Structure 1
Amino acid sequence: MTSSTRDKMIAGAADLMSRGGVNATSMRDVVRHTATPRGSISHHFPDGKRQLIAEAVVFAGKQVSIPLEKAMSERGVIGGLRAFVASWRRRLEATGFEAGCPVLAVAVDRYVGEVSDKDDDTAQRHLLDLADGVFADWQQIMHTALLREGLAAERAERLATLVVASIEGTVAMCRASRSAAALDQVQEELETVLAAALARTAK
């Protein structure tokens, strides 16, 4: 059992969470989904499902934050937004609108542990803290990019929150409608709002 097995299980858990939520993602499902040995569960995740789900949240967060930060640095706020939206569009379309955001799944799906779990409430609080941290990280990346282009800190903070909240909610809407139309509409409006805010800083 190598570290690649562990990584594969974490990525697989994140994928399953994005499709069916936290409670529909069992350790058995992860093993089946990733074609990994069942014995690898206790070896790599001695604290069981709660540990695997927690690490999947962190993994999912980085899968977005690393390319988002790169896009914001290289393309600016508007170009970074377009890259952010495009990455979600690709994800939705590649999975037939079956998969959304695993971090959002943690935020809306109350954790129910497995038999070995001793305290679901503690695990729930920990997972919510992790999800909150991921959203805050995405907001901070956007906030930093807006500051770099001249926006005042308070306005940049509000707009960063608007962008992250809008995209996360729209991804859920797209899954329900099985269409990227809402994502296209929200992108257009966000670009209008951001462009107007940035234009005022140039005066």
Structure 2
Amino acid sequence: MAAGAADLLSRRGMHGTSLREVVRHTDTPRGSIGYHFPGGKAQLIDAAVRLAQQRVSEILERVLREHGAVEGVREAFALRAASLGESCFEAGCPVLAVAVERYTDDAKASPDAGAQQRLLDAANTAFRDWQAIIAAALEREGVAAPRAGSLAALVVSSIEGAVALCRAALSLEPINAVGAEVCLLVRTAISDSQPRGAAG
């Protein structure tokens, strides 16, 4: 159910991810949501965000350790582009959807400030986790921590922004172009961090 909710969030946003739609999308009994998620829609969306965080974190850890910072970032952009193409430009990011939309319960028209803050905290935790993984990879290649942190924020925000451009244009050109530029910046940062003029 959390996976189904994450998929719906990525395609339809929070307002399009009702409990009814999650039941339909996952072909699960309606009562099972109440059993597993007694906190209702907010608890289910929170679980979906945490699942998305875990999945992306695992991918980032793997590609950055296997390929290094530059090629790992390139692979992260390529994987995101592939998922966009496979979904016919429907699949955005469930974490971003939670970060930019106001939460409302299915049964209430008014916003729930407490649930909104908890979901924003979950989204922030996910984004910060992804940035920390990328920053650690950059630091392993000699980039100083402050620069690594700012570059990691750039990588994450560039992927999210490029996805929005691709969905609007129905084209992978934006994410391919942005990915190439970001990788060039990462490569330059690593090169600039290397000692110069060391005795041979």
Is the pair's TM-score, using the shorter chain for normalization, greater than 0.5? yes
- Alignment correspondent of 1:10: 2
CA deviation vs aligned residue, 1:154-195 (integer Å, no higher than 9, x gap): 111111111111111111111111111000100110111111
Alpha-carbon shift at residue 116 of structure 1 (Å): 7.3
Shift of 1:74: 1.4
User: In the TM superposition, what whole-angstrom CA distance separates every residue of 1:58-107 from its partner, at most 9, and x where no partner exists?
Assistant: 01111111110111111100111122112211110111001100100001
Residue in 1 that maps onto 2:44: 52
1:11 and 1:126, CA in 2 relative to 1: closer, same or farther beyond 3 A?
Answer: same
Q: Which runs of 4+ in 1 moved over 3 A?
A: 116-119
The alignment partner of 1:39 has SS state of helix
Aligned match for 1:109, one of 101, 114, 130: 101
Out of 155, 160, 180, the position equivalent to 2:172 is 180
Residue 115 of structure 1, CA deviation = 2.3
CA distance in 2, matches of 1:188, 1:117: 43
2:104–2:111 CA contact under 8 A, matched in 1: no
Q: How far apart, CA to CA, are the structure 2 residues paired with 1:113 and 1:143? A: 36
- Which residue of the partner structure matches residue 30 of structure 2? 38
Matched-pair identity in %: 50
Residues 1:169 and 2:161 aligned together? yes
RMSD: 1.5
Measure, in 2, the Cα distance between the counterparts of 1:84 and 1:42. Answer: 36
Aligned residue for 1:86? 78
Structure 1 residues 66 and 93: alpha-carbon distance in aligned structure 2, compared to 1, 3 A threshold? same
List per-residue Cα deviations over 1:129-176 (Å, max 9, x = no partner): 000010000000010000000011111111111111111111111111
Q: Residue 15 and residue 164 in structure 1: after superposition, are their counterparts in 2 closer, same or farther (change >3 A)?
A: same
C-alpha deviation, 1:110, in angstroms:
0.5
Match of 1:75 in 2: 67
Per-residue deviation, 1:119 = 7.2
Aligned partner of 2:144 in structure 1 is 152
2:114 matched to 1:122? yes
Residue 150 of structure 1 aligns to which amino acid in structure 2?
Answer: G
Q: Which runs of 5+ in 2 are unaligned?
A: none
Is there any run of 5+ residues in structure 1 with no aligned partner, and where?
1-8
CA distance in 1, matches of 2:188, 2:40: 49
Partner Cα distance (1:66, 1:73) in 2: 11
Structure 2 length-normalised TM: 0.94
Q: How many residues of Structure 1 are paired with residues of Structure 2 in the alignment?
A: 195
Aligned to 1:6: none
The one-letter code of the counterpart of 2:139 is L
Counterpart-to-counterpart distance in 2, 1:162 and 1:99: 21
AA of the residue aligned to 1:93: G
In the alignment, the residues of structure 1 paired with residue 109 and residue 56 of structure 2 have an alpha-carbon distance, to the nearest angstrom, of 29
1:74 aligned partner, one-letter code? E
1:136 maps to amino acid? R
Where does residue 195 of structure 1 map in the other structure? 187
